[in-house]
Amino acid sequence: MYRHRGKDKPQVVRVADRLVMSFDEIRVQSEMRLDAPDELALGYTRTMMGFLLYRPRPLRIAMIGLGGGSMPKYCYATLPEADITVVEINPDVIALRARFFVPEDDARFRVLCEDGAAFVARMHNQFDVLVVDGFTETGQPPVLSTQHFYNQCRECLTEPGVMVVNLPDSPQTYEPLFTRIKYSFEHQALMIVAEDSGNRIVFAGKADILNCADEQLQARAAALSAHASLKLLRTAQMLGYAQARAQRVDDSNWR
């Protein structure tokens, strides 16, 4: 969730053992298990947490879009060394943080009510990880989709750093956006299908951070499964396939 135009009032309903946030009756924006509020209920959020395959112990994380706070809560609970900044433009979303058990602001966690694009623009070499998950009831906000925005996302990352972006499941939308991300990140970008949905999740990095051997990705996925109960084996496999495809395209372009 991202752009606030006054009418973007989030709705919260209980469905069985889950609390669901949405802007309409069709698209779920966030979901929380009431018996395990810190767990990642939606598959796409688990896929996005694949950034840990590249930065297993990030020290500074920024997230654009709060929603029900699934990823911020998970990172706060499982990455005790990480400093986490969440940026959300819609105050009505932030007003629901207590219902979704989003932690109160403290020395290493904060939620800012401001424009995510403006926030990124004033940062330089600040974050090990940048998570971009900004949606409205109509889809991807244009301000979070421009070439200029992705250029600034790269600049706000440390070296090596990684950005992960949630894109809609429409090829007419995700294909041009992936092209922009690849351009901004000098083709250091991989796109995979999210778990349990058709959304595309893009990982982009600096300083060849994405150039990991399959064995290394698999080993990190196994370690995370053992220590953080985060099942990333599928994500590691898909990233390995995406890396192999990208390498084949690069090789063919040099022939």
Spatial CA neighbour of 124 closest among 148, 150, 145, 153 = 153
> How many Cα atoms occupy the beta-carbon half-sphere of 17 within 13 Å?
6
Residue 145 identity (one-letter amino acid): S
Catalytic annotation, residues: 133
Alpha-carbon gap, residue 13 to 18, rounded angstroms: 8
- Would the CA dihedral through 131, 164, 115, 119 be positive or negative? positive
* Residue located via tokens 């009831």: 137
The secondary structure element, H or E, covering residue 32 is strand 28-33
Give me 16's structure tokens.
């069985």
Task: Tokens for 28, please give them.
Answer: 């779920």
Instruction: Read off φ and ψ for residue 74, nearest 5 degrees.
Output: -65, -45
Locate tokens 């889809």: which residue?
Answer: 139
239, amino acid identity: L
Considering only the C-alpha atoms of the chain, give the largest distance between any 2 of them, rounded to a whole number of Å: 57
- 176 CB-near residues (< 8 Å, 6+ apart): none
